[in-house]
Structure 1
Amino acid sequence: MRILFSLLLLLCLNTFAQDYRVEVVADHLSHPWGWVELPNGDMLVSERGGRLWRISPDWARAEVTGLPRIAVGGQGGLMDLALHPDFANHPWIYFSYSQPGPGGAGTAVARAKLVENRLISRKLLFAQHPKLSGRGHFGSRLAFDKDGFLFITTGERVHARNQAQQLDNHLGKIIRLHDDGRVPEDNPFVNQVGALPEIWSYGHRNIQGAAIHPQSGTLWINEHGPRGGDEVNLIKKGANYGWPLVTFGEDYSGGKIGLGSRMAGMEDALWVWVPSIAPSGMLFYTGELFPQWRGQLFIGALTGRKLVRLTLDGDTIVQENHLLTELGARIRTVGQGHDGALYVLTDEENGRLLRLVPAQ
């Protein structure tokens, strides 16, 4: 019955497809969040509810054990996944999650090795401070740059948004670490009294997408605005991105937030969505399967229920196109497989792992 359902869904999706077609790799995933492909072709998919699945090339799946205690609820749970950039010699799997503790919960990142279907040698690398009550704005994406530094994106946990402008906490910040959790000596605030040395940038609201530009090696992110004002930002060392002083959005009650959409000393967004689309996972496409898409930026949209494709001219975004609107699904994550296909996770109770390949 499941195979028949997948075939019927594939037929339906292909009816609407243009230069791509959609294949269902896996379904019945409960709010899937993170995706990585292992060198042998197996895939790992995290579920927000705290489960981690290993999916083989023949689409069989097994649950992976060995995860830490996770604070599941609202936007919190088991979130992003990443592989060590030199996985052949350092077979570490990195994962972010909402960690329970005194005061509530906060974003945390750990790494472990995968042996068969169990995580071993687990080590906590980062824990957000302070921990707060509430179930929103945990971030969180993981991205390794070309030099092997790990970037961790966070949220300001909703009710502490003013702390995004302060450097004595991890709320609304991007964190930069060595692959083993050590703080790099060239981080911007290492020698600043009262500042946490692991901070790379600040003034963020809720960063749910991150990707490294394939040519420049710079970190790009997207973050949720309030009611309007979702952003794409190019991240600079030590820079302030304005939240909550600068925003194109407004409070959910309709009231004004901040002092305007621009301020001296704060970075301008590269792209803004009003109304909000709730951007999530993002990817610079570098594969061979879709040569017409090479170098373009893909971003999943949750509220927008689509996959956004942004065309770039250098560091300028010049055009926006939409894919997968026919699904009507919340797009949580987009990744690129070893074969150059795009892999997409839909954030639903019956979430799916989808594979985009050329129509011809």
Structure 2
Amino acid sequence: MADCIRFIAALLAGGAVALSPAAAQETAESSAGQLEATVLADGLEHPWALSILPDGRFLVTERPGRLRIIADGVVGDPIEGVPDVVAQGQGGLLDVELAPDFAQTGQLYLSFSEPGQGGTGTAVMAAKLETNGNSGQLVDQAIIFRMNNFDGSTRHFGSRIVVGHDGNLFVTLGERGNGARAQNPADLAGGVVRIAPDGSVPADNPKIEGWAPEFWSIGHRNPQGATLRESDGALFAVEHGARGGDELNLVEAGKNYGWPEIAYGTNYDGSPIGVGQAQPGLEQPIYYWDPSISPSGLDFYEGEMFADWQGDLVLGGLSGTVLVRLDMEGNEVVGEERLFAGTLGRIRDVTVGPDGALYLITDAGNGQLIRVARAGE
């Protein structure tokens, strides 16, 4: 609540997150009335992830390897101390996630494509952010996780970081464009891992013969959105299919989500994938898209601006160039609403702000930070 009060006070005072009256706007009709999408900042180079700082400023990663603070429409100078990344293909600086005690400690986590023996792989850095105006530096950096079996692929790194209720971290990992890796339980590609904040393996991780100890689940293709449901700590993730078959999954301990043995969709050349859409012992998605929208970024709506959306999921679409709301009843999707289709660009990340508005970033050479709110709010 204190963060929300500071955020709204900043808006009213014309502070760090005040909206520019000259900002470009798009409108869309929705189940919650007319929405306005207001550009808060632009000039970002392929932004990948967005977090809102306790004081209402925005922290954004750019895939080429920069971390920036945005305030009052101004994109700050790159923060020093970020890890070296391989910014090729889908790789680069990826997710940023604040630790629960960030307001006191400045602790955060970054995922990125790390150079190493054999090529590249997804890794996670823990660090503390020290700000100096709209810039700053990372200190006390430590690589707390890196996947095994680096290779030369520039595809399917994942990678989202979610902090669980117990403080442990979930990290989603793509299968690097090699589906067989997602069914190899000793290979960390194509899975979700769960690690402690220092990178150690929690004692209550699944203990399944042959599985790498970091694994929480396996059989994923390229999960680029993940979030926690606050009411029960359940982990949800969205992942890219091939030609069709994007999935929303409830990601549970010790389960195999099937890629590439089962899938909704086909290979890009139209040939079938695996054995079909179902097989005993392999989990079904709770929702899927065919044709694909390339889902990326995912959050539960828990704000006050859109009362009827409480407990629903919001996410972005890259190839779909769309903002999506999934109407949730428990673990079931009972409806889908598509907003701003084709008007905002490739939506890479979505987060719910403390004021109840949606904040998103667009993946482009001139990427934007956008606020979506009810018209007039």
User: Which TM-score tier does this pair reach, normalised by the shorter chain?
Assistant: over 0.9
Correspondence for 1:312 = 328
Distance 1:342 1:163, change over 3 A: same
Correspondence for 2:223 = 207
Q: Amino acid of the residue matched to residue 344 of structure 1? A: L
Residues 128 and 141, structure 2, Cα contact 8 Å, conserved in 1: yes
Q: Shift of residue 68 of structure 1?
A: 1.5
Residues 41 and 57, structure 1, Cα contact 8 Å, conserved in 2: no
Q: Shift of residue 169 of structure 1?
A: 1.2
Distance 1:103 1:21, change over 3 A: same
Superimposed CA distance per residue, residues 235-279 of structure 1 (whole angstroms, 9 cap, x where no aligned partner): 111000000101011111111110010111111110011111101
Correspondence for 1:184 = 202
Correspondence for 1:112 = 127
Correspondence for 1:130 = 149
**Equivalent residue runs for 1:253-332 within 5 Å:** 253-325=269-341, 327-332=343-348
Q: Shift of residue 60 of structure 1?
A: 4.9
Q: Shift of residue 58 of structure 1?
A: 5.7
Alignment partner of 2:168 out of 127, 139, 149:
149
Alignment partner of 1:50 out of 56, 60, 65:
65
**Alignment pair present for 1:100 and 2:110:** no
| 1:162 aligned counterpart, secondary structure | helix
Q: Shift of residue 172 of structure 1?
A: 0.2
**Structure 1: distance between partners of 2:364 and 2:307:** 31
Q: Amino acid of the residue matched to residue 115 of structure 2? A: P
Q: Amino acid of the residue matched to residue 76 of structure 1? A: G
Report which stretch shifted further, 29-38 or 321-330. 321-330
**Structure 2: distance between partners of 1:22 and 1:178:** 37
Q: Shift of residue 310 of structure 1?
A: 0.3
**Alignment pair present for 1:70 and 2:85:** yes
Q: Shift of residue 214 of structure 1?
A: 2.3
Q: Amino acid of the residue matched to residue 295 of structure 1? A: G
**Equivalent residue runs for 1:17-28 within 5 Å:** 18-28=33-43
Q: Amino acid of the residue matched to residue 183 of structure 2? A: Q
**Structure 2: distance between partners of 1:125 and 1:263:** 35
Percent pairwise identity: 43
Q: Shift of residue 88 of structure 1?
A: 3.1
**Structure 2: distance between partners of 1:120 and 1:334:** 27
**Structure 2: distance between partners of 1:200 and 1:249:** 25
Residues 108 and 126, structure 2, Cα contact 8 Å, conserved in 1: yes
Structure 1 unaligned regions, length at least 5: none
Aligned residue pairs, count: 351
**Alignment pair present for 1:221 and 2:240:** no
